Structure formats: C-alpha cells, structure tokens
Amino acid sequence: MEDIYAKFVSQKISKTRWRPVPPGSLQTADTFAVGSWDNEENYVSLWSIGDFGNLDSDGGFEGDHQLLCDIRHHGDVMDLQFFDQERIVAASSTGCVTVFLHHPNNQTLSVSQQWTAAHYHTGPGSPSCGSAPCTGIVCSNPEIVTVGEDGRINLFRVDHKEAVRTIDNADSSTLHAVTFLRTPEILTVNSIGQLKIWDFRKQGNEPSQILSLTGDRVPLHCVDRHPNQQHVVATGGQDGMLSIWDVRQGTMPVSLLKAHEAEMWEVHFHPSNPDHLFTCSEDGSLWHWDASTDVPEKSSLFNQGGRNSSFLSHSISSQTNVHQSLISSWLSTDPAKDRIEITSLLPSRTLSVNSLDVLGPCLVCGTDSEAIYVTRQLFS
C-alpha cells in the first residue's frame, strides 16, 4: 500500500466520512467530511484531498488536504453521515440532530434542518433539561434513524418537522450504534453487549430479535452490515474483539477474533470489496483485515513492518448447511485454519483513532492527536 499521509488540524477528530460518489460515476473519492469533539469549539468541516506533499519531521508524509468550508457545531460530533451528495447529518452530545447543506458555488455549509431534542433523559432523577447524547445515525434517503444514550430510537424523514416514529424505551441501556439490515429493518448495538433487530413495519416497542454473547456484557460500540449479504454483520466493543454475526443463525456470533488492545471504535466492510474489513481503536491502531480467498500462502501472523505477533481466533459454529459458494468469506472462514491477513496501516501508534471510512481505493481516519490520515491506494 502507498504511504498514508497526515494532516494536523488542531482539533480532536471524532468522525471522518467520504462524500459518496454519484452512482455509475468512475471518479474516485475526493472530498470528505470531518467532525470534531472535546474542543472549546467544535466544527463540521469539508475537505478536499488535494496533492500529497513531502516528508514531515516524524518521517511520515504530510498531506495537502485542503479545507473547503466549516461550520460551528454545538456539542461534540458523536456521529456523521452523508445523506446525499450535498447534505451531511450530524449527531450531537447535546441530543440534537442537524442536517447541514453544502453550497459548492461559494463553498459554505448551512443548517438545512434540525431536531433539537431528538434525545433526552426523562423520569425521576433526570435533570429538567436532561438532554442525552445522540450516539449514532444511519441514513437511507429519505429516512434518518438516530439512537442515543437515552435508549430511544427515532425515525426521521428529511423535510418532516417531527419524528415519523419513535420507540421511546427501546433499550434500558445506552444504544451506541445503528445500521440498516433491509430498509424497514434496523440493527442496534448497546452497552450491555446486545444486538437487537427492529422492524418499523411492526407496532410496539419490542425488538424482533436479540443476539448476544452468552454471559458477556461487554459494551458494543460499533456495527457494520456486509454490503452484499445483509444477514452478515460485524461488531466491535470495549474489549477490542471483532465479532462476525449471521443474524439468520442462532443468537451467538459466528466468529470472535482477538483484535485491539482497547476499545474498538469503528468497523467498516469495504463497500465494494467486502472481503476486506477495517477497524480502529482507542489503542491508536488502524487495521486492514483481508479475508479474500485469493491471497496466496496466507499467514495468520500480524503484519506490521516485518514484526509479527500471534493472532488468536475462535470460531464458534460451523456453517455446514448453507451452500458454500453463497457464503461470505467471513462466515466460511474458520480463522484458525484459513487465516486472515491483518495489516497495520498507521506508521506508528498514535492517540486514539476514533473514526475511519473507506471508499474505492481511498481511506480516511481521524485521531485524538489532532491529525487526519488519508491514503488513495489501499490495494496497491
């Protein structure tokens, strides 16, 4: 892989997201959005990746990412998702959900829509102005789903003032992340290690399915659905483990892979090459997991500049009753036998890597060391 380029931005970065390229377009990703946290003033900003520059003092490569525009954001940016080419949805630690509109003619961002109290604490003991952080959002035009520390799920539609549907007590614990399985179905992960599937076609406040790791109440922080096989999801949590689940089969993960030394903050399947998966962690690492079958002589050892450390895995169930050719490599792989190759993408350990995103050959990530890292040649 080509070297990864750093840009120091004087803000702790909580979220990084590529702007989607138009369907059918051959262009590669060239613009990304960034959200900040834990700063005196937080911002949502848009950047262009520009040309790549020279070696910096640390021996890394200084990237020439150009700031296109930014806008103040009230509270920490807890999640950030592109709704379409022009609109970005931000989740705030204040419980507010904001849709920002990009104006490319004069390179500005403006507030297009806002739900100020999407998430809030109620009941005895909660303060009168008990806002609760909105922790996760997922968009599927025209819908936006939000989850929060208050255990609430909201279904919003752009251009509607009120929520279309709210599940008030969806969870007694904190909901940390959400993804769509199929359009009316979402999957949430929470702070006691559970995955829950919700079907918006059904009335009531009960999930249609609950999955969890028996006996473990390790908080789950992130989830991503396989882009082609909607029953396959990956999760990561406080113990740094990567779990692969098949929501059609039982309530346990198919594979548990020992991964990071601290919290895993995000996990992403590559959207067009899903045998590749990417994770980032509080321990300052950013990993590329390669489960593709065409890698010759796979090693289960961890590749990091020639140094090896052992890679432990535990495959819980064998998938013998499904036609092999239809199985995702993440399900058919007994990691102990078939070997997944893992590569560390950052030149040296940094403070927490809070967020990453991949699109085509491009990857972007953001860190607590106030740096944005970009590479444009993931697979070369």
3-class SS shares of the chain: helix, strand, coil, % to 5: 5, 45, 50
Q: pLDDT tens digits, residue range 289-302? A: 999 865 444 343 34
**pLDDT tops 70 at residue 333:** no
**Per-residue pLDDT tens over the stretch 118-139:** 999 987 665 556 899 999 999 9
Beta carbons within 10 angstroms of residue 204's beta carbon: 6
Q: How far apart are CA 212 and CA 195, in angstroms?
A: 6
Q: What is the pLDDT of residue 65?
A: 87
| Among 159, 194, 189, 165, CA closest to 175 | 189
Q: What is the pLDDT of residue 166?
A: 96
Q: What percent of the chain has pLDDT over 90?
A: 69
In this prediction the pTM is 0.88
pLDDT in the model for residue 221: 98
103 pLDDT tier (thresholds 50, 70, 90):
very high
Q: What would the mean pLDDT of 23-47 be, rounded to a whole number?
A: 93
CA 166, distance to chain mean position in Å, is: 23
Residue with tokens 């009168």: 128
The CATH code that applies to domain 1-125+360-379 is: 2.130.10.10
Q: DSSP secondary structure string, 125-139?
A: TS-TT-B--EEEEEE
Of 380, 375, 371, 332, the closest CA to residue 357 belongs to 375
Q: Identify whether the C-beta of residue 336 lies closer than 8 Å to the C-beta of residue 313.
A: yes
Q: Where are the domains of the chain?
A: 1-125+360-379
In tens, the pLDDT along 47-100 reads 998 655 444 445 445 567 899 999 999 999 999 999 999 999 999 999 999 999
Per-residue pLDDT band for 3 (boundaries 50, 70, 90) equals confident
pLDDT of 311 above 90 = no
Separation CA 29–CA 359 (nearest Å): 7
Q: What integer pLDDT is reported at residue 292 of this predicted model?
A: 86
237 vs 316, higher pLDDT: 237
Q: Which of 114, 116, 119, 117 lies closest to 88 in space, CA to CA?
A: 114
CA distance 195 to 71: 34
